[in-house]
Copies of this chain bind each other. A is one copy, B any other.
Amino acid sequence: MLPQPSATRLARLTVILTQYCSDSRRKVSSKTLSKLSGYSATTIRKDISHLGNPGNNGAGYDASQLLTFIRKHLNLTEPVKAGIAGIGRLGSSLINYPGFSGQGIEIIAGFDSSINKIEQSKSTIPLFPSHEIENETSRQKLELGIIAVPKEEAQKTADRMIAGGIRGILNFSPATLEVPEKVTVRNLYVAEELIALATQIRCNKIRQNK
């Protein structure tokens, strides 16, 4: 049973290893990965060992083997199909972010309430009006939904994605989403992050566990 913090760190390691391998470096030790990630070498070894034994005890890891090993055990061999709701500045920045495809993340549909305003011809992915979310989610078998709409529309957007069969949601809106058990939500609350940061630097009462 893999602890959730491990899963998050392993996700980070796949990104780091992708870069590392593309620089055509072969060997990598937990110590090197520690340098590149900020996690302790012990934590990294423990995280990896949760997945089983990648081989190569004693020497370091073969970088690309390790990457394949982690990807395989995290069920990341198939690309992830995602849709995004809200084609404002934030949504556009995500659609155009070049770092996803190398990680097997494919944003293949965009949704917005006022689709007319958008220069659809400029978009690199097909765009649909919001009332098509359910249809397209199920038709294209989207696994993940990204919510980049204003707070007021967030719950309704989530409901439509869920009705279409989405399994996971990454929520950039400040809303607290109510979803059924089977759907997983991760929230990126930017204001809260800034507030927490401000507290951390102003207030010496907070446990600083590096």
Contacts and interface: CB of A to CB of B under 8 A. Distances in A.
A105 to B, nearest CB: 5
A199 interface: yes
A1 B168 CA distance: 35
A2 interface: yes
A197 B186 contact: yes
A11 B195 contact: yes
A174 interface: yes
Contact of A189 (B12, B75, B206): B12
Given A75-B203, A89-B90, A92-B89, A80 B192 contact: no
A4 interface: yes
A80 B194 contact: yes
A74 B193 CA distance: 13
Given A2-B205, A89-B93, A207-B1, A7 B196 contact: yes
B199 A75 contact: yes
A58 interface: no
Contacts of A206: 1-4, 7
A22 interface: no
Contact of A191 (B15, B88, B192): B15
A192 B15 contact: yes
Interface string A164-191: 0001111000101000000010101111
21 contacts: A1-B207, A2-B203, A2-B206, A4-B207, A7-B199, A7-B200, A11-B192, A15-B174, A37-B176, A74-B203, A75-B198, A76-B198, A89-B89, A90-B93, A93-B93, A94-B190, A97-B190, A105-B191, A144-B198, A144-B201, A188-B193
Interface of A: 1-4, 7-8, 10-12, 14-16, 36-38, 74-76, 80, 82, 88-90, 92-94, 96-97, 99-100, 103-105, 143-144, 146, 151, 167-170, 174, 176, 184, 186, 188-203, 205-209
